[in-house]
Amino acid sequence: MLANLVLHLFILLLFAPLLLGIITKTKAWFAGRVGAPLLQTYYDLNRLWRKGFVFSRTTTWVFLLGPVVGLAVPLLAALMIPFGALPAPVSFEGDLILFVYLFGLSRFFTAAAALDTGSSFEGMGAAREVTFSCLAEPTLLFVLLVLARLSGGLSMNTLLGEHLLASWRSEAGASLTLILVCLFVVLLLECSRIPFDDPTTHLELTMIHEVMVLDHSGPAFGMILYGAALKMMVLGALLVRLAIPWDTGWWLTNSLIFLAGLSVLAVLIGVIESAMARLKLPRVPQVLVGTSLLSIFALVLVLR
C-alpha cells in the first residue's frame, strides 16, 4: 500500500512536466525548428521557484490561494485514479464524484484569484473559463457513468479496472470509443490546448486560462505551471488507461507502458496543435454541447 503510494507520487511528480516538453518538441518539429529542450519545463520550474513573491497591493489572500489549490487538487485527484495497470492508492465508493468536483474546486479558486486582481482582462478570462468548464462537466460525468455501468462499481479504481479489456471486446466497445473521443476533447479544453485555447499566445484578449494567471509570478506562477502539468497527467491517465487496458503483472513494465502511452498522447496533442488553427470563441460551447450529446449517446448504448 505504502509502496504503491510512493510509486504513484513518484511517477506523477517526476514525469508530469515532461509531457509539456514533449508537446513543445513535437510542435517545434512540425514548424521546422529545433525547439526548446525536452526538459525546459523543469528548468522553468526551477527558475520560478528561486524567485521571490510579488503581490499587488490590491490583492488579498485569495490571490495566493488560487495557485495553491491549483497545485493541491491534481495531486489529490491523482491518488484516486489508476496509472495504467497500477491501482489507485486511495479508493472508496463514490470517489468519482469527488474526482470531478475537485477540479471544480480548483477552478473556483483560480477564477476567484483572477477576479481578486480587479483587472478587466482577468475578469474576462474567468468568465470564459467558468462558462466553458461548466459545459464540459456533463461530458465528464456521462463518461464516468458509462464506465460505472460497465464495471458495476462507483470508485475510479473499479471504473478503470480489469473489466475494461473484456468490455472493449464486447458490444460496449463502441461506447468506449465514443467516450475516448469525448475525454480527449475534455482534456484539450481543461489543459487549455488548441483548438480551444492557445497556451503560447501573447494576446490577452484571446486567452482563456492564461489570462487568469497573468498577474502571478515567481513561485506562485511555478505552482500554476506545475499544477497544469499534473492536471494534464491526471486527465491523460484516464485516457491512457481506457486505451491501453492491459496488465503485464509486473509494476515496472506497467509503469513503462503507462509512460509510453502518456508520451504518445503528448505527441498527439502536439500534432493537433500543429495541424489546426484555434476555434472562434463562440464555437467552443457548440463543440462542448456536441461532446455532451456524444457521451449521452454512449450511455444510451450501454443502458440498452
Partner 1 sequence: MNRAKLISFHHGACVPLTELPCLDFPTFRESLLEEVAGDARIASFFGHPDADGVNLYAVLAHDWQGKLALLHTRVQNSFPSLTPECPQLHLFERELAEQYGLRPEGHPWLKPVRFHQNWIAAADIWGRDPDLHPIPGDMDFYQVAGEEVHEVAVGPVHAGVIEPGHFRFQCHGEKVMNLEISLGFQHRGIEQMLIGGPHPASIYQLEAAAGDTSIGHTIAYSQVLESLSTVEPSPRAYAVRAIALELERLANHVGDIGAMTGDVGYLPTSSFCGRLRGDYLNLMADLCGSRFGRGLVRPGGVQFDLNPELVDKLLQRLSVLETETRGAIELSFDSPSVLARFEGTGVLSIDAAEELGLVGVVARASGLMRDARLHHPLGGRQKLFDAPIIETDGDVFARGNVRRREIYASHRMIREALQSLQSGENRIPLGPLAPDSLAVSLCEGWRGEVVHVGLTDGQGQLARYKIVDPSFHNWAGMTMVLRGEQISDFPLCNKSFNLSYCGFDL
Cis peptide bond upstream of 89, omega within 30? no
Is position 120 an interface residue for partner 1 (rule: CB under 8 A)?
Answer: yes
Closest CB to partner 1 among residues 144, 224: 224
Binding string, residues 261-290; x marks residues near partner 1 by CB under 8 A: ------------xxxxxxxxxxx-------
Binding string, residues 225-264; x marks residues near partner 1 by CB under 8 A: ----------------------------------------
Is position 34 an interface residue for partner 1 (rule: CB under 8 A)?
Answer: no
Alpha-carbon torsion 22, 24, 27, 32, what sign? negative
Is position 121 an interface residue for partner 1 (rule: CB under 8 A)?
Answer: yes
Q: Which stretch binds partner 1 (CB under 8 A): 42-50, 160-168, 204-212, 292-300?
A: 204-212
Q: Find the shortest distance in angstroms from Cβ 46 to partner 1.
A: 25
**Listed residue (267, 274, 186) closest to 234, CA to CA:** 186
Closest CB to partner 1 among residues 46, 58: 58
CB 82 within 8 A of CB 96: no
Which three cell numbers, joined as nine digits, stand for 290?
456536441
Q: Find the shortest distance in angstroms from Cβ 135 to partner 1.
A: 15
Closest CB to partner 1 among residues 99, 221: 221
Alpha-carbon torsion 1, 3, 22, 103, what sign? positive
Q: Find the shortest distance in angstroms from Cβ 280 to partner 1.
A: 6
Is position 76 an interface residue for partner 1 (rule: CB under 8 A)?
Answer: no
Q: Which stretch binds partner 1 (CB under 8 A): 54-62, 69-77, 157-165, 190-198?
A: 190-198
The DSSP code sequence of 68-127 is HHHHHHHHHHHHTS-BTTBPPSS--TTHHHHHHHHHHHHHHHHHHHHHHTT-HHHHHHHH
Is position 32 an interface residue for partner 1 (rule: CB under 8 A)?
Answer: yes
**Listed residue (278, 270, 277, 269) closest to 29, CA to CA:** 270
CA 146-95-292 angle, to 5 degrees, is: 35
Among 57, 169, 202, 304, the residue binding partner 1 under the rule CB under 8 A is 202
At position 68, the amino acid (one-letter code) is: V
Is position 204 an interface residue for partner 1 (rule: CB under 8 A)?
Answer: yes
At position 250, the amino acid (one-letter code) is: W
Q: Is residue 68 left, alpha or beta, with left meaning phi > 0 and alpha meaning psi from -120 to 50?
A: alpha
Is position 141 an interface residue for partner 1 (rule: CB under 8 A)?
Answer: no
Please work out the total of residues on this chain that contact partner 1, with binding judged by CB under 8 A. Answer: 32
Q: Find the shortest distance in angstroms from Cβ 273 to partner 1.
A: 7
Length of the chain, in residues = 304
Among 159, 182, 194, 212, the residue binding partner 1 under the rule CB under 8 A is 194
Q: Find the shortest distance in angstroms from Cβ 204 to partner 1.
A: 6
CB 199 within 8 A of CB 231: no
The CB density around residue 74, as the number of other CB atoms within 10 Å, is 23
Closest CB to partner 1 among residues 1, 275: 275
Among 31, 97, 134, 260, the residue binding partner 1 under the rule CB under 8 A is 31
Q: Is residue 250 left, alpha or beta, with left meaning phi > 0 and alpha meaning psi from -120 to 50?
A: beta
* Bridge partners for 86 per DSSP: 83
Residues at the site binding partner 1, with contacts judged by CB under 8 A = 27, 30-33, 120-121, 123-124, 127-128, 194-195, 198, 200-206, 273-283
